[in-house]
Amino acid sequence: MALLKGILSTTLVMVSTVIVCIPLLILGPIRLVGSASVRDYLSRKFDHWVIDSWVATNRLIFRVLRLSNVHITWEGADDLSRERWYVVISNHQSWTDILLLQTNLFGHIPPIKFFTKHQLLWIPFLGQAMWILGFPYVRRMSKAQLAKNPKLLKSDRKATLDACERFRSHPTTVLNFLEGTRFTAAKRATQRARFEHLLNPKIGGLSYVMSGLNNHLHKLVDITISYPQGIPTFWEFMQGLSPEVNMLIQCRTIPSDARNDSDSEQRKILAPWIEELWREKDQRLARPETVT
């Protein structure tokens, strides 16, 4: 039964992906030759329709097939609006995190766009669609690569700032997994992480978004995801083998000092603030019942 459910749910998501991507890919060339006003209109209207259609369809699929029972606790939900800008941070344990964030925040905030690995650009339909939609593409580089060529670091900053420049024209939500990768015990040991259930947060991407959107940002949405029965793979989730998910969604006020044009000064403010949020998150994950 689980296998059949997995095949059905995955097939339906793939079909919905192709359906919404086709018109996007057809209109994509217009962005390259159209005027600034045309590109802005497509970003504000058509792009949101594409993302909303895909997310709404996925949410319907998950609910009809009863893939998982998601328990959500909201703190500060009154501060959420489709007409404002937000940055979302969350712990990252599985590829299903993105689907859960999209489908459960749907309708509360503008469509979510997130940092995407450059390699994903080559995934048929999905990779090209995310590029057209303006998702920031970044390159994951080791310290050795950066030491050999420091200019590589500037490429990610430029990509993020360029994306934020486009986002300013219409309410947008930017998702940033501060850990930079999915949590595993092996990665935690290699990194010598300061936390039991989290990897160390990296504030570089968040700082870029803060600089790029600055006073446009209304709030920071801090999300903690917990899987009481164990962290599922994407395939396990699509088979309905992750029956319970807990999510705590907290809408937080961004420190006024963090809205700073100086990158170094901004990071001095963000670093201790994020460190404290991460310690609170780690304590909650140690006691899953406190996540909801």
The structure tokens listed for 6 are: 């997995």
- Amino acid sitting at position 218: H
How many domains is the chain built from?
A: 1
Whole-number Å distance between alpha carbons of 175 and 89? 6
Q: Residue-wise pLDDT tens for the chain (292 aa)?
A: 899 999 999 999 999 998 988 887 777 676 666 666 666 666 666 788 888 999 999 999 999 999 999 999 999 999 899 999 999 999 999 999 999 999 999 999 999 988 777 666 677 777 777 777 777 777 665 566 656 666 666 777 777 888 888 888 889 999 999 998 999 999 999 999 999 999 999 988 898 888 888 889 999 999 999 999 999 999 999 999 999 999 999 999 998 888 776 677 788 889 999 999 999 999 999 886 667 6
For 37, half-sphere exposure in the C-beta direction (CA atoms, 13 angstrom radius) is 0
Containing structural domain, residue 47: 2-291
**pLDDT score, position 291:** 74
Q: Quote the pTM value.
A: 0.89
Looking at the chain, how many residues does it have?
292
Whole-number Å distance between alpha carbons of 275 and 128? 35
**pLDDT score, position 160:** 80
Q: How far is CA 20 from the centre of its chain?
A: 20
Give Cβ neighbours of residue 141 (< 8 Å, ≥ 6 apart). Answer: 152, 153
Nearest 5°: phi and psi at 222?
-100, 120
Contact between residue 112 and residue 88 where contact means Cβ atoms under 8 Å apart? yes
Query: Is residue 244 within a helix (H) or strand (E), and if so which, with residue range?
Result: strand 244-252
Whole-number Å distance between alpha carbons of 202 and 138? 14
**pLDDT score, position 38:** 65
**pLDDT score, position 104:** 96
Whole-number Å distance between alpha carbons of 175 and 30? 27
**pLDDT score, position 149:** 66
Contact between residue 183 and residue 92 where contact means Cβ atoms under 8 Å apart? yes
Pairing of strands 244-252, 69-75: parallel
Whole-number Å distance between alpha carbons of 19 and 282? 40
Contact between residue 174 and residue 209 where contact means Cβ atoms under 8 Å apart? yes
**pLDDT score, position 85:** 96
Specify the CATH number for the domain of residue 84.
3.40.1130
**pLDDT score, position 83:** 94
Rg (CA), the chain: 19
